[in-house]
């Protein structure tokens, strides 16, 4: 990505990319902003504004060329530049993340796994080996890995985040059900599955009440 854009737009662009890839696989030549807006339930004008940030122009009444828009999105989102990452925590959630092969489509490559359970050390998940977390600092520095995925219990989250930051981590994707304290120059995205479920339930509950 070579251009700074507003965070809300940045969050939408990968969703546009997913839709564009669907159309590409189906062999379609063009896609309209109205089709994207309908699939994502957002304003069509906003879709056009977001795509305008890519300097990709569509054709009136026809839409955007699929191949061209796909190429612009891949370049803008730096899709084809693989980003190595480490995953700390190989419980059920961590293993599910490690086994998911859809990340590579977006340029994320999980190269190694870490845990504190001696029974797991040395095992492999696919081609990824599980190392003891004590090996993390040396490997992270040697491989210059800056992106860390945390999938540890709540009580371990801050300790593991501290280890990651000291080893040079600059971005943490946090699946632990806890807020972590990091320096201002370290980016954190919290993925709280339980909270997301509650929001889903409350939205459904409120929807039922309005019927």
pLDDT single digits (tens) 127-178: 899 999 999 999 999 999 999 999 999 999 999 999 999 999 999 999 999 9
Tell me, yes or no, whether 87 and 189 share the same domain: yes
Instruction: Report the length, in residues, of the chain.
Output: 211
- What percent of the chain has a predicted confidence (pLDDT) above 70? 96
Domain extent at residue 143: 83-195
Residue 1 has pLDDT above 50, yes or no: no
Q: The domain that contains 11 carries what CATH number? A: 1.10.10.10
Which pLDDT score is estimated for 207?
66
Q: What is the rounded distance in angstroms from the CA atom of residue 85 to the CA atom of residue 164?
A: 11
Looking at beta carbons, which pairs linking 40-48 to residues 24 or more positions away fall under 8 Å? 40/12, 40/15, 42/12, 46/12, 47/12, 47/16
Are residues 87 and 185 both part of a single domain?
Answer: yes
Domain count, the chain: 2
**119 vs 89, 115, 129, 132, CA distance in Å?**
13, 10, 13, 10
**Does 106 score more than 90 pLDDT?**
no
Residue 22's pLDDT is 95
pLDDT above 70: residue 7: yes
Cα separation of 89 and 116, whole Å?
A: 8
Whole-model pTM: value is: 0.82
* Same domain assignment for residues 70 and 96: no
Task: Tell which residue, 146, 106, 149, has the closest CA to residue 128.
Answer: 149
Q: Do 62 and 95 reside in the same domain of the chain?
A: no
Question: For the residues 89-100, what does the mean pLDDT come to?
Answer: 96
Structure tokens at 76: 């803008």
Both 127 and 166 in one domain: the answer is yes
Q: How confident is the model at residue 80 (pLDDT cuts 50, 70, 90)?
A: confident
């Amino acid at each position: 990505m070579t251009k700074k854009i507003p965070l809300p737009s940045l969050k939408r662009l990968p969703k546009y990319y997913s839709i564009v890839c669907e159309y590409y696989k189906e062999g379609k030549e063009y896609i309209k902003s109205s089709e994207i807006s309908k699939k994502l339930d957002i304003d069509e004008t906003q879709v056009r504004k977001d795509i305008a940030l890519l300097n990709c122009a569509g054709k009136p009444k026809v839409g955007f060329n699929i191949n061209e828009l796909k190429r612009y999105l891949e370049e803008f989102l730096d899709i084809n530049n693989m980003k190595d990452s480490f995953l700390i925590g190989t419980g059920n959630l961590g293993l599910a993340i490690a086994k998911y092969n859809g990340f590579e489509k977006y340029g994320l490559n999980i190269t190694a796994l870490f845990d504190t359970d001696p029974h797991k050390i040395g095992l492999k998940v696919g081609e990824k080996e599980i190392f003891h977390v004590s090996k993390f600092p040396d490997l992270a520095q040697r491989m210059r890995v800056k992106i860390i995925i945390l999938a540890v219990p709540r009580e371990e989250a801050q300790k593991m985040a501290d280890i990651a930051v000291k080893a040079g981590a600059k971005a943490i994707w946090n699946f632990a059900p806890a807020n972590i304290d990091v320096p201002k120059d370290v980016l954190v995205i919290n993925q709280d599955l339980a909270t997301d479920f509650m929001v889903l339930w409350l939205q459904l509950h409120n929807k039922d009440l309005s019927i």
